[in-house]
Amino acid sequence: MKQQVLPARFDQLSRHAERYPTSAAGDRMLALLQRIKASNVTLKGHLEFVNDWQYFSLGVLRIRALTTTGSYAGTLSAFAAGTKLRTRYLSLLTTPPVPNFPLNFWASDCVRVIETARYFVTGFLGLDWDSSSLKTTAAKAQLHVIPETPDRGADTLTPGDTCLKYRQDMQTGHDYGLIQLSKFRSTYLPAIAARFQAQNPGIRFTDEEVYSMQEMCGFEILVRGSSPWCDVFTQEDWLDFEYARDVIHYYRAGPGNRFGPVMGWLWLNATAELLSTGPEATGRFFFSFVHDGDIMPMLAALDLFPTEEHLPVTRRAASSRAWLTSQITPMNGRIIFERLTCNSASFNTSKSGADSGAAVEHFIRININDGIVALPTCSSGPGSSCPLKDFLTLVRRRGEEVGDFRTTCGLDADAPGRITFLHQ
């Protein structure tokens, strides 16, 4: 028995690439630095470097934009991701059915998301993908920008902006993540603040300020390639920070938020419908670019990282936990659904070696940031994939479990009830 398994098409949901801080995070950082300067305290110990340190983002235009310098530049990583996938899936671009151009791809209406999409497709298709940029006659791809506005209903890439109750519920909606984050931060940040104060009696830092210091480590690396802020903290401090990021996203829009699964089912269901048929009917490539807060709900809808109990906020969960935000949705993170075609051929023992029979089966395999992740309840196919019919059953069942988007979100009955724009 010989078996050949080949990807026939894939659908990708991608976070924007590396960026500068958002305006909210940037404001917190600048407020901290301004308070230090106004205190007229000459810092000592671990924070001594701050006396001469310069903030890494001085221009308003850089806030929330992709980073463009250093080895971790967002523009570079988005382009490299496109090139990597072109290399991996080159056969899908060059063998029948060859994609019909222009290839549609989608981005939510945010500058850093749109820029990521454009750099990615440049790496995937080449500089001439956009006819307007090179004044050519035939475009290879067409970017569709989907508004991040409340009126989109379910026909959106950003359901957190359209789910009314999710935005209005201050206890269990969008802000639930911040509530749970605050609880966990109180378990480890005061000790760090006390450590700093012992070295600098003239100034006391709040939990939020210490957390901003930890954030500056990562953001400065994305701009400059390294950061002295990283050396301020211990390994345990960083493990706690990593878990803090797990907590906020788990409860903001992931499995720990009651709205998460129903919001994420929209893209999951639309993609499952596309995967149910072959590339001849629907096309071979579907690229959607969003924020991490739009990917978390989809993972919750798929129940890809189940936990026996919700993440604790009075202590750090075990390192073996399934939900690791840094591994799931880093900047430029990608979730890819591959439709695999498996040709099984039985060969007889005749001299001609003629094929005595063949069967074609289809499977869905999930690739997260270049690693295969098996569905917990469906991985019997080749390469830890899930038989297509079982995958479609799973998505349909999850839709029944999570409920109707319009009803759960408190939208009018005439609001859009599904995604309609994903098509080639």
Among all residues, which ones are annotated catalytic?
16, 292
Contacts of 224 (CB under 8 A, 6+ apart): 56, 69, 70
CA distance 176 to 259: 11
CA distance 312 to 297: 19
CA distance 202 to 191: 17
Q: Write the single-letter amino acid at 366.
A: I
Reduce the DSSP state of residue 121 to 3 states and report it. helix
Contact 402, 262 (CB under 8 A): yes
CA distance 159 to 192: 37
CA distance 393 to 324: 27
Contacts of 73 (CB under 8 A, 6+ apart): 18, 66, 67, 222
Q: CA distances (Å), 123 to each of 191, 310, 336, 353, in order?
A: 46, 39, 17, 43
Contact 316, 243 (CB under 8 A): yes
Token pair 């994939």 in the structure block, residue: 385
Q: Write the single-letter amino acid at 200.
A: N
CA distance 32 to 204: 11
* Both tokens assigned to 337: 């659904």
Alpha-carbon Rg for the chain in angstroms:
24
